[in-house]
Copies of this chain bind each other. A is one copy, B any other.
Amino acid sequence: MSRKSRLKKQLLRSIKTSPKTFWQLIPEQDFSLKELVNELEGLIRDGVIEYKNNEFLLNGSTELKPRQNVRCGYCSGSGLKIDNTFEEALRKFEKLTENRPLPIAEYDQGLMHPVYLAKKAAFMYERGDIEGEEIIVLGDDDLFSLYAALTGLPEKITVIELDDRITGFIKKIAAKEKVKIEVLKKDLSRAIGILEESFSVFVSEPPESLLGLKMFVRAGMSTIKNRGAGYVGLTTLESSLSKWLSFEEWLLSNNAVITDILRDFSLYPEDINKWSDFYSAYPLMKKTDFKLNIPESDWYASSLLRIEKVERENFDEEDIYMDEETIVTPGKGN
């Protein structure tokens, strides 16, 4: 038996609060774009909503209460603050990257707002994954390597990137700022060779086909030592939960335990990416019953997964409450 639609509820309570464009609806729901488009088309066909002047409106009433925003307004819901080291590095980064290379379609690029580089670095710092660490970045149109170097915290930073505009830009700024970043042009579809088990942390925002995800993360996992960590961006927009299931199973079968999943952690704003020319090439734009315009608001967000390379162990499964690790559970017969 299948549950009644959670997506329908997320949409109707959002539209009840106020009419929304397609792009405004995206951050108010959890599902993939494919599922979202299907649901909206169904709701229009059933006469529950209508689409007028680029906005979705309720046709009748709904018992649902208007959507209540539950995210902290101070940290925009991330739970993290950017100050001291991380704020100083962010200011420098923004000044130094004013003329950075813009996304090109050939490599499926897209830039997160630099504030999310700072938040990612702050979260990594809390885990002990940045200060004094050897970090490798697999694909770096976001320029995370530069941000990390500007904090002065990592021991070593290496970047693997195919796009000459980006490798050139990183080298130029690193030289200017006198920070050390090793930049390598390498094809991730081949074995990583001498880089194997040379790092403690890898960072990547892979393409989202299952093949692309596995290729980037396989390379990342091969570069890190045992108990090393990986930071991987993954969306709910271009990956359904069935794809998440396949990807997570593959991670675990490679001894990568998932330690954190931070939903919609990084936002990719329209104005930084200047990718309005891309839209005509998106399959999405040809697929909808309702006519889509270029976005007027930011909508593309990516979740952040942290994984860690661990060894397998066997656990006794004799007692419901106790095993060798539950040492603050009251012992029987003590």
A194 sits at the interface (CB 8 A): no
A179 contacts the other chain (CB 8 A): no
Q: Is the CB of A320 within 8 A of B248?
A: no
- A85 to nearest B CB, angstroms? 7
Contact A208 B3 (CB under 8 A): no
Q: Contact between A243 and B325 (Cβ–Cβ < 8 Å)?
A: yes
Q: How far is the CB of A301 from chain B (nearest CB, A)?
A: 12
Smallest Cβ distance from A48 to chain B, in angstroms?
15
CB distance from A303 to the nearest CB of B (A): 9
The answer to whether B72 and A4 have CB atoms under 8 Å apart is: no
Chain B residue nearest to A127 in the complex (CB): B30
Which residues of chain B are within 8 angstroms of A331 by Cβ–Cβ distance?
281-283
Does residue A164 face the partner (Cβ distance < 8 Å to B)? Answer: no
Q: A113-154 CB contact bits vs B (8 Å, 1 = yes)?
A: 000000000110111110110000000000000000000000
A260 contact set on B, CB distance < 8 A = 261, 263
B-side contacts of A241, CB under 8 Å: 257, 259, 308, 310
Residues 1-26 of A contacting B (Cβ, < 8 Å)? 1-4, 6-7, 9-10, 13
| Chain B residues closer than 8 Å to A276, beta-carbon distance | none
Q: What band does the interface of chain A fall in when counting residues whose beta carbon is under 8 Å from B?
A: 35 or more
Q: Which of A51-59, A92-100, A165-173, A311-319 contacts B (4 or more CB under 8 A)?
A: A311-319
Q: A123: which B residues are within 8 A, CB to CB? A: 70
| Alpha-carbon separation in the docked complex, A131 to B225 (Å) | 45
4 closest Cβ pairs, A-B complex: A72-B75, A79-B79, A105-B330, A281-B330
Show 23 A/B contacts (Cβ-Cβ < 8 Å), sorted by A.
A2-B225, A3-B226, A13-B131, A32-B325, A34-B327, A65-B131, A70-B126, A73-B74, A78-B79, A211-B318, A215-B320, A238-B325, A238-B328, A238-B329, A242-B312, A245-B255, A248-B252, A278-B330, A282-B330, A283-B327, A283-B329, A283-B334, A287-B327
Question: In the complex, given contacts A2-B225, A9-B132, A281-B331, what are 6 additional A-B residue pairs having Cβ atoms less than 8 angstroms apart?
Answer: A7-B128, A68-B84, A241-B308, A242-B257, A244-B259, A246-B315
A residues with CB within 8 A of B: 1-4, 6-7, 9-10, 13, 30, 32-34, 63-65, 68, 70-75, 77-81, 84-86, 105, 108, 122-123, 125-129, 131-132, 189, 197, 200, 207-212, 214-215, 224-229, 237-246, 248-249, 252, 255, 257-261, 263, 278, 280-284, 287, 300, 308, 310-313, 315, 317-331, 334
